[in-house]
């Protein structure tokens, strides 16, 4: 399975996937930490977090997959949502919470 197929499998077989630097307990950059905080503040208890620092192919491949140059990247129900700034904006508007509730339904 090539990297793009692996990423597609990850984002389509899990309701919420966050590609980040580090782990939710030990984020390795401020934006990844912010993304985790936003998900937790939204009431999300369970999501798949993939550490891009552990796999250089995933780290580069995810940028190609979404045509988005930065990490973290959030996917809900297989759809690319955005990075930490977009997540923060959606959270402040109440939209992120709705998307996450639909994903868990």
pLDDT bucket at 104, cuts 50 / 70 / 90: confident
Count CA atoms within 13 Å of residue 9 on its CB side.
7
Query: In sequence order, what E strands does 5-84 have?
Result: 16-20, 48-51, 73-76, 79-82
Q: Which CATH class is domain 3-104?
A: alpha beta
What is the spatial distance between Cα 14 and Cα 49, in angstroms, rounded to a whole number? Answer: 10
The pLDDT of residue 53 is above 90: yes
pLDDT bucket at 45, cuts 50 / 70 / 90: confident
pLDDT of amino acid 102: 87
Residue 70 three-state SS = coil
CB 42 within 8 A of CB 94: no
Count CA atoms within 13 Å of residue 2 on its CB side.
5
What is the spatial distance between Cα 85 and Cα 81, in angstroms, rounded to a whole number? Answer: 11
């Amino acid at each position: 399975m090539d990297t793009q197929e692996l990423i597609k499998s990850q984002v389509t077989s899990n309701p919420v996937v966050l590609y980040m630097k580090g782990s939710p307990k030990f984020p390795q950059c401020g934006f990844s930490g912010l993304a985790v905080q936003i998900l937790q503040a939204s009431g999300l208890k369970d999501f798949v977090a993939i550490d891009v620092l552990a796999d250089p192919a995933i780290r580069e491949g995810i940028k190609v997959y979404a045509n988005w140059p930065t990490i973290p990247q959030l996917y809900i129900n297989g759809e690319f949502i955005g990075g930490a700034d977009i997540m923060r904006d959606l959270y402040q508007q109440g939209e992120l919470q709705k998307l996450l509730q639909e994903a868990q339904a």
